């Protein structure tokens, strides 16, 4: 970890949490003052124990205690000196306790602050750059990586306290014997310089740990999501072996990080003991320092060296954790740069006439060409419009453009004649109900899942939404009705029940525009029929845009637009399109005819 990164991290902590940071500094000063007082008291105790300290630095320190006690009317006898020592120790203990709590609070608050910042950036970012990120990378960042950054903040607060204590001991050592302290300081500087290789190793291990943690989270999600397929293939052992390999690599990365830290600590400890031995030898054999002064120096350096060793260890632990801070900060900044500039929605936009898509072209990647090319069509208010076509024809992209999730490269989206842009996009989205192929349900009650879309909805509105979506029957049959816990992603419901509940949630918003994006593509014929009945009952109440490749779902649509390779190739009613033997819709119908319900023949 470079020094500049450590300094930037500490500055960021001071900016984000000025109160706790100031408290950490103040408490560290109190602890350091306590350490200084302990040295003074030790000098007086040496004198009381019969060690000659009348002359030299040790005597000066002992006399300082005499003056302190005299100022409060006490004599420098054993009882008052020991009482003073107990009092100083008590103050130090309380300060250390408070400092530990502040460091822990900074650790928790740093993780929380960065986690919420990143999630806010995710929630506010434009859809296209967000869709390019791996979900597991975001999950890793929001969980384990944020905790690592918090740990780094705790290390920084602890490092400050020990650094000030080290400074206090160093100041006393200089007062006792400047030459010996200067030699020790020079040797210590060389020792720290020799630690640079270990710092690079710790830094590299921290980066490897971030990569391995992200890979482990990704593998866990992928392998858990594939369990049904795994069991159907009889590939449990192979699946477990693949995951175990990823888990083993993550464990090895963590072990390597700890090994780098342990190597550095061991080397520094050995060097520090050698330094202490050198100081003692110089004092006694070369400089002929008096015995009391040597005792005091040995005490000071015996307390200073562990502090330096601990400081070095803390710095290396920060070096291991701060790659996570750099990664999360960069991710948050990149997403914040892509934040949608949305105005507050004072009232939602109601669709009165139509949505016009005029000459719209759009591409996700320049190298892949346009997903939509010069598309023009109209969606009439309070009518049902269907957009059909094979996979990859641009249907979902069209829905994303209508919702304002992506912006056209060329052309315009106009709502009642007004060009859709970010100045009123939030108000437009307030009036949209969206049901996707992959239903999103939370591990909560039915009622909580419904009111998530509109928290202020009344009980009567909830019941009406369930009735319109043909979901009231199965919800009433659940063990606790509306208060039944659905499980992870609604696992306690069938696919058709989840889709009908998602439709009820969209309807609870009382949408001006209801978008059904492949909402029936994964359903069996019976559940698809129920969803079609629900949609049929909504006809004329609201504007409905159906995106699908399953043609039986669109027989009740007022108008059908047929897409192919990003272009609009046909438009008309169901009967009109079926009446064109060579039309693209008719050919799509023929290709799906083996999937049709024979009791539900094509309309004439």
Report pLDDT digits (tens) over 461-511: 999 988 888 888 888 998 988 898 888 777 788 878 888 888 898 888 888
Q: Name the one residue in this structure whose structure tokens are 């902590």.
A: 13
Mean pLDDT of 56-72: 62
Mean pLDDT taken over the chain: 79
pLDDT score of 596: 43
Q: Which domains does the chain have, with CATH numbers?
A: 3-209+249-337 (1.20.1560.10), 439-510 (3.40.50.300)
User: pLDDT by residue (tens digit) across 425-458?
Assistant: 888 888 888 888 778 788 888 898 899 888 888 9
Rounded (to 5) percent helix, strand, coil in the chain? 65, 10, 25
Q: What is the distance between the alpha carbons of residues 506 and 370, in angstroms, rounded to a whole number? A: 30
Three-state DSSP at 572 gives strand
Instruction: Tell me how far CA of residue 370 lies from CA of 171, 357, 360, 392, 498, in angstroms.
Output: 70, 16, 10, 11, 34
Lowest mean pLDDT, pick from 156-170, 226-240, 363-377, 523-537: 226-240
Q: What is the distance between the alpha carbons of residues 128 and 130, in angstroms, rounded to a whole number? A: 5
Q: What is the distance between the alpha carbons of residues 569 and 552, in angstroms, rounded to a whole number? A: 19
pLDDT score of 415: 92
Given a contact cutoff of 8 angstroms between Cβ atoms, the answer to whether 318 and 156 are in contact is yes
**Sign of the alpha-carbon dihedral angle for 372, 373, 378, 383:** negative
Name the percent of the chain lying above pLDDT 70.
Answer: 74
Q: What is the distance between the alpha carbons of residues 310 and 261, in angstroms, rounded to a whole number? A: 12
Three-state DSSP at 253 gives helix
pLDDT score of 603: 46
């Amino acid at each position: 970890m470079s020094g500049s990164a450590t300094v930037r991290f500490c500055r960021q902590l001071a900016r984000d949490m000025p109160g706790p940071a100031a408290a950490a500094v103040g408490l560290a000063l109190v602890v350091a003052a306590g350490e200084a007082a302990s040295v003074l008291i030790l000098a007086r105790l040496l004198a009381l124990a019969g060690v000659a300290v009348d002359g030299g630095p040790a005597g000066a320190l002992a006399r300082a205690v005499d003056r302190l006690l005299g100022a409060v009317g006490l004599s420098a006898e054993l009882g008052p000196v020991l009482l003073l020592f107990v009092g100083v120790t008590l103050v130090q203990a309380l300060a250390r306790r408070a400092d530990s709590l502040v460091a822990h609070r900074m650790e928790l608050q740093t993780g929380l602050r960065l986690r919420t910042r990143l999630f806010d950036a995710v929630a506010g970012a434009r859809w296209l750059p967000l869709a390019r990120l791996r979900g597991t990378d975001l999950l890793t960042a929001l969980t384990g990586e944020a905790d690592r950054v918090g740990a780094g903040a705790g290390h920084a607060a602890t490092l400050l306290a020990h650094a000030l204590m080290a400074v206090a001991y160093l100041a006393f050592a200089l007062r006792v014997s400047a030459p010996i302290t200067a030699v020790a300081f020079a040797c210590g500087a060389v020792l720290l310089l020799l630690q640079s290789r270990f710092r690079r190793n710790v830094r590299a291990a921290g980066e490897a740990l971030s990569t391995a943690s992200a890979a482990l989270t990704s593998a866990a999600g992928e392998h858990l999501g594939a369990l049904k397929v795994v069991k159907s293939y009889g590939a449990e052992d192979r699946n477990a072996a693949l995951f175990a390999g990823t888990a083993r690599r993550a464990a090895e990365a963590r072990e390597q990080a700890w090994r780098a830290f342990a190597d550095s600590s061991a080397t520094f400890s050995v060097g520090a003991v050698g330094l202490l031995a050198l100081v003692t030898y110089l004092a006694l054999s070369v400089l002929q320092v008096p015995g009391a002064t040597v005792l005091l120096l040995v005490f000071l350096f015996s307390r200073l060296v562990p502090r330096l060793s601990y400081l070095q260890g803390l710095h290396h632990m920060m070096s291991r954790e701060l790659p996570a801070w750099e990664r999360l900060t960069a991710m948050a900044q990149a997403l914040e740069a892509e934040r949608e500039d949305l105005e507050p929605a004072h009232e939602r936009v109601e669709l009165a006439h139509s949505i016009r898509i005029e000459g719209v072209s759009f591409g996700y990647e320049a190298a892949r060409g346009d997903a939509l090319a010069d598309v023009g069509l109209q969606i009439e208010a309070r009518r049902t419009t269907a957009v059909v076509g094979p996979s990859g024809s641009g249907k979902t992209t069209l829905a994303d453009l209508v919702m304002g999730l992506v912006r056209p490269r060329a052309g315009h989206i106009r709502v009642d004649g007004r060009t859709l842009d970010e100045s009123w996009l939030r108000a437009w989205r307030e009036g949209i109900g969206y049901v996707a192929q992959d239903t999103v349900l939370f591990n909560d009650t039915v009622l909580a899942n419904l009111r998530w879309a509109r928290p202020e909805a009344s009980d009567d509105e909830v019941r009406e939404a369930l009735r319109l979506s043909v979901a009231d029957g199965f919800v009433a049959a659940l063990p606790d009705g509306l208060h039944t816990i659905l499980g992870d992603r609604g696992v306690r419901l069938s696919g058709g029940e989840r889709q009908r509940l998602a439709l009820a949630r969209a309807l609870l918003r009382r949408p001006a525009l209801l978008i059904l994006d492949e909402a029936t593509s994964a359903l069996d014929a019976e559940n698809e029929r129920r969803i079609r009945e629900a949609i049929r009952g909504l006809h004329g109440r609201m504007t409905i845009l159906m995106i699908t490749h399953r043609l039986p779902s669109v027989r009740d649509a007022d108008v059908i637009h047929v897409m192919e390779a990003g272009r609009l190739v046909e438009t008309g009613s169901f009967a009109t399109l079926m009446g064109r033997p060579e039309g693209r819709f008719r050919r799509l119908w023929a290709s799906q005819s083996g999937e049709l319900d024979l009791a539900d023949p094509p309309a004439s």
